[in-house]
Every structure is written in C-alpha cells, then in structure tokens.
Structure 1
Amino acid sequence: MSFPVDALLAVTYRCNARCVMCNIWQTPMQDDLSPAEWANMPASLKDINISGGEPFLRDDLPEIVSVVKGKCPGAKLIISTNGIAVKRIERSMERIVHIDPRIGVGISIDGIGEVHDRTRGLKGAYEKAIQTLQVLKKLGIKNLRIAFTAVEDNIDQMKDVYDLSRRLEVEFSCVVAHDSDVYFKTSGLRLNSLGCLKEQLNLVALSELKTFVPKRLLRSYFYSGLYGLVENGKRVLPCLAGEASFFLDPTGELYACNVLNSSMGNIRGEPFAKLWNSQKAAQVREKVANCRKPCWMMCSARSSIKKHPARVGLWILKNKTGIYLGKRSII
C-alpha cells in the first residue's frame, strides 16, 4: 500500500467554543500525544491540517509543529482555529512562523456578527476572530483563510462571509456540517433549506470560477460536489480515505477519516508504516469501500480531486466557458 499524502491531525479535543454543530468540547480530558510522539508520521505527506478542538489551547503547539514539519519537510501545514483566544494565538504564532514561514491558518467565521456568535456559542466570538485575522496579518502570515461551516441557521450568510474574505484579502473555504461520532461527536445534523444552500453555493462558486487562480478554480468544483452530496447523498468522486489520506486523533488512534469510526490502531504502540500496511488497515479500507456515510470534506476530497485531473479539469473548462457565454448557474 502506498503511503498517504493528506492528513488531518487533531492535537487536542479541548475547546473554548460551544458550536451548534460540534460536541468535541464535551469529550473528557485525555492523555494527548506529546510533541515527540507526533514524529510517528509518514514523510510522504504533502498537505497537513492541524486541528482540534482548539489547537492553540496546547501551550506546546509550536513544538508539535516543529516535530511534524521536521518529519514531513515537504508538506504544506495549515492550522485550523476558531480565533477566540487572540493573545494565546498571537504568542504561539510568533514562534511558529519562525519554524515554518509558509504556515497557513484557517479561522472559522460562520456568519456576520451575532450569527457567528450564535453558531459558535460564544458572545463576542466574531469580533475576536476578526481581531485574530488582523493580528496574523501583522505577523506576516501570508496563507490566511476564512473557513465557513454551513448549518441550517447560517446558510444565507455564506456569500456575505465570502465577500468579507475578499475585502480582507484572505482565502475562503466552505463545508457543510457533517455527522461524526468519532470526531465531532454528533448525529442527526441535517440541512433542510436546500434552495438557499444551492443559491449561496452557486454565488460563491461562480465568483471563484471567474478567476484564473488554480486553487480557487478547484474550490468551485468542490462546492459543486458539496451541494451534490447534500442533495442526493452521493459523492462526485470515489473516496480515497485510508489510502491517500487519514485522520489521527489526539491520543494517537489512526482512522481512515474523521467520519468512519474504525481504527487501524494506535501510533503510540506501533510504527506508522506497520499500522498502515496491517490486516486491520485492510479491513478498514474495505469498510471505506462500502461506506454508507458519504461525506465531502476538503481533507479527504483533495486527494480524490488530484487523482481525477481530467474529469475535474473538464468540469472547470466547461463551466468557465459557460460563464462567458452567459451561464448563471453551475450548481
């Protein structure tokens, strides 16, 4: 089995938010991996998302970044944060930027003002997220993005948040809240306002498709696939979780993804390569192949998109041409 290129690393489940789409904060205290234990990573990784919980609640986050970057020097790292602990984030990033000057940070903003505060379950969360963005800009962080998670009560804010990202000159990404008993500790999440979701995703995807920036063109395709999943429960591309990508929880449990609750083992007890090529891992991949929990999140979809360049490129070319011919709907 070839080694993976994408990874989602949850370094802690501790969290200072109370999001409506996530119950991670209810997870009891755990024996999280030490910085040194994060060295048990495959050097093959090209894209790594360091997440949580809230990763900046770990005082040793710079040490974790140093270890992971040292083991995977060719990987692009991005840290996902809710942006609430402004001073803590600033102190940590002052060190991290010297470890990896190309480090990226994604800050969750799920609406404007009070809408974001309600979604994150904390008054003042929006102002703090904006403040964190400004602080990171002053630190010279170039790779910044706003990450929007769509739930029933904030769908109509998607384009507004996208427009905010353009004004602040940072990137924008969007996902729909997914059920996950292994990660988000949720079930029963559902979007009913499909018309509004389609309208908002279409506006964002159209704007992205009008550019000539490769990453933004690919995101327009991702958004099309995102709506397709919500509408009919099907992925537009086969899932490569457990082959090209994996999810690692704070205690070292290795999963194919952050949705399917089937562990390949724990990296505390075995070298990564041994777990990845084990019979147990093969059984997990069989479950992925027969998975009835379809998902479409960037951490796992990225590998699928990269593996099908002709199909994705044709979609982009067809719809980009359509825009110039007057097409106003690509979703």
Structure 2
Amino acid sequence: MRFQNYLNKAERLLQKPVPEKIKRVNFAITYACNSECIMCDIWKKYKVEPQVAKEELTLEEIRQLFTQSQCLRSLDEIILTGGEPFVRKDFVPIYTFFREAFPGAKVVVSTNGLPTGAILKKVEAIMDFEKEPPLLLISSIDGLEATHDAVRGVKGGYRRTLNTLQQIQKLYPIQQSLSFTIMPENYFDLVEVYELSKKLGVGFTMRFAQNSKIYYLNEGFNIGWTETQLTEVDRLITKVIRDLRQRRDLFSKLFSSDLYFYSRMVDYQGNPRRMFTCYSGVHSFFLNPWGEVYPCVIREDSIGNVRKNSFDELWLSYTAQQIRQSIAAKECHCWIECETCTSLQRDPSLLGDNIIRELSIL
C-alpha cells in the first residue's frame, strides 16, 4: 500500500487538476453516531430527525453512482466517514464495493472506536475479503482520559477506543492512526497524545476544530481562542512537527503536505484567509449520506443531488462551474486538513519549499 500511495502522490503532483479526473471523495456514509462531541452536532441529527436515518443512500445507489460516472474513474483516495461509519449495517459491502471498483485506491475510515464488537467483526470480514487491505483506520483521541471523555461526551470512551485499536493491532495487519482535534478544552494534552501514538506504534494527525453547517452541522459553535492560548498551542505543535520530521524518510519529508499544513495552523487561526490554491470541487468533493454533492466540507452551496441527476451531469453542470470559479477567485477560505492537504499535494511549490527546508537543515 505504501508504494501505491507514493505513486498516487507523484501522479497528483505531475497532473493538472481537472474535473474529469477526480482523485478524492469524502463520503459520510451515515450520520448515526454514538459519541456526543462538544465540537460537532452530527450526533444530534437523527435524534432530532429520526426519519432521515432511513433516507441514506442505499448500497445499490452507491454502486450506481460510482460505477456509472466517468469522472470518478481516477479516484485514488476514498474517505468513509460519518457519524460513526462502523454502525452502518452494510459497511462491509460498501467497503468491498469500493475495493473492487477502485483497486488502486486507498480507503481511509474515520472512527470513534467506541463500538468495539461491531468494528472487530467488520474488520474480520474485510480481512476475509483481502489479506492485505489498503486500509487506514483513523481513531479519534482528543486528549488523555478525562479530557477525551469530557470532549467526546462518553464516559469510558477513551479506554474503549484504545481497546479497539489495540485489539485490531493484535489480530490484523492494518495501518492505524490517532486523530486529535485541537480546541481550547484540550490543547494542553496534544503532546501527550502524540507520544501515545508513538508508544502504540501508529500514525498521528491533528487539526483545529472547525465550523461547518453542511458537515459538522455546528454552525455557530464558538471556538474562542485567547492570544496566550494560541502562543502555547503553537509551541506544542512545533514540538510535534520537529519530532515527526526527524522520524520520516526523505520521500515523506519532500512529498507530504501535512507538516506544511501543521506549521501554519496557528497562523490561520490568528488571521483567517486563503493561504493556498484550492482545487476542492475540481479534484475532490464531499458526499453526504443522502446524496447531496458539495465541493468540500465547508462551502454550503450544493452542486446537486445524485438522486435527481447522475453524478457526471451534476459535476459538469453550470452550477458546478460557477462554484469552481468562486473557489478559484478566492471567495472562500479554510485551513482544514481534508481539503487543504489534498490541494497542497498538487502544488509544485510545496515540493520546492520542502527541498529548501531539508537543505537548510543539512
């Protein structure tokens, strides 16, 4: 899987982003969720509107959407998220469909790690399907035990998530990573959680909490940072970046966009603005559980719904073109991992910056 990922990254860098060759989909397959996170309101959706839980795209609709599209044939990264994706009963058939339809693509699954039994059962089924799946499981750990449980609203959640991760480690050769969402309620645990990822022998990702009306459903969530807090967060992030860089091989240092992303997170929090050339809506999109297509997880303007038109009709429509023009004109901005890093991978100047940085260290 690692070699294929390198090839995919090189291809992204060398090819011009065009709508006809989509590289990445962020697909929320369900909004059912068994966490109650303070920074996300997805878990409230089906409590307030229980009827919409029955309106999620079916497995057959998913198959039709992705197999009938010409624009989706170049997919090399498929993100299955939620909600909690493992609580969807047909998760395994959804996963196996994507693996059969896009054999060269990496599949990333974001999980809270809480439904241990369901996760282990479904991972076992995946392993029965293929012995070395190109799968990355990303488990959310948003602090040490007390902090994590308070942030994610589930007593005992920290231990359950770690237990799930460690059970998978014992049984299956699947790549795993810890994910840390930075906010005033937990930033002080950042380095300790990073050290935990090293102790466990898994990867690590981080980003600031975000507002998104169409994804997190948390419009109006107040992320209030003081200048003193941001100064301390910057110090902690720098410490993590320094250690990450020391532990990576040269290829990862040169071609990975995450270190660049991490190094500018605090800058964006202090002065939100467009800081990169964004190709969301060109090479990637967000698909919600009910078939609504968006250029990304932040912008609220829908391209359309796949239950009303085919994906390619929507993607190549006048509406989609107008949204792309708006993005290209820098009428929006964000610094969110799933959008920023994907676009940075298409920017040759990132490689140049990384080369200069490595030469300066020598």
Q: Normalized against structure 2, the TM-score is what?
A: 0.84
1:269–1:109 Cα change, 3 Å? same
Letter in 1 for 2:354: I
Matched ranges for 1:1-331 at <5 A: 1-27=19-45, 28-29=49-50, 30=52, 31-39=55-63, 40-41=65-66, 42-99=72-129, 101-186=133-218, 187-192=220-225, 193-213=229-249, 214-215=251-252, 218-290=257-329, 293-309=332-348, 311-323=349-361
Q: Is the contact between residue 179 and residue 188 of structure 1 (CA under 8 Å) also seen in structure 2?
A: yes
CA contact (8 A) 1:36 1:64 kept: no
Q: Is the 8 A contact 2:176 2:203 kept in 1?
A: yes
Residue 141 (structure 1) shift = 3.4
1:287-313 CA distance string (max 9 Å, x none)? 33356552222322233122113x222
CA distance 1:20–1:26, change in 2 (3 Å) = same
Compute the displacement of 1:16 (Å). 0.3
Quote the sequence identity (%).
31
Structure 2 unmatched runs, 5+: 1-18, 67-71
Q: Structure 2 vs 1, CA of residues 292 and 110 (structure 1 numbering), >3 Å: closer, same or farther?
A: farther
2:223 is matched by which residue type in structure 1?
A: R
1:190-225 Cα distance to aligned partner (Å, 9 max, x none): 241211221111111111122333446532112013
SS where residue 110 of structure 1 aligns?
coil
The alpha-carbon distance between structure 1 residues 156 and 243, as it changes in their structure 2 partners (threshold 3 A), is same
Give the letter aligned to residue 316 of structure 1. Answer: N
Give the deviation of 1:99 after TM superposition: 3.5
Q: Distance in 2 between matches of 1:25 and 1:212?
A: 36
- Unaligned runs of 5+ residues in structure 1 are 325-331
Distance, in Å, in 2 between the alignment partners of 1:191 and 1:128 is 30
- The worse-fitting range, judged by mean Cα deviation, of 43-52 and 209-218 is 209-218
Q: Could you list the per-position Cα deviations for residues 17-42 of structure 1 after superposition, in whole angstroms to 9, with x for gaps in the alignment?
A: 00011001111232001112112121
What do you get for the CA RMSD once the two structures are aligned?
1.8
SS at match of 1:83: coil
1:215–1:50 distance in 2 versus 1, CA, 3 Å: farther
Structure 2 SS opposite 1:304: helix
Q: Give the match's secondary structure for 1:115.
A: helix
What is the CA–CA distance in structure 1 between the aligned matches of 2:173 and 2:303, rounded to whole Å?
Answer: 35
Question: Which shows bigger deviation, 179-188 or 278-287?
Answer: 278-287
Instruction: State whether residues 178 and 295 of structure 1, in contact with CA within 8 Å, keep that contact through their aligned partners in structure 2.
Output: no
Partners in 2 of 1:47 and 1:191 — Cα distance? 33
The offset of 1:322, in angstroms, is 4.4
Q: Which amino acid aligns with 1:318?
A: I
Partner SS state of residue 217, structure 2: coil
Output the CA distance in 2 between the equivalents of 1:139 and 1:36. 31
> 1-side partners of 2:109 and 2:129: how far apart?
13
CA shift, 1:244, in A, is 1.1
What SS is found at the alignment partner of 1:307?
A: coil
SS in 2 for 1:254: strand
Number of corresponding residues: 323
SS of residue paired to 1:145: strand
Paired AA for residue 187 in structure 2: I
The answer for the alignment partner of 1:327 in structure 2 is none
Alpha-carbon spacing, 1:262–1:157, altered in 2? closer, same or farther (3 Å): same
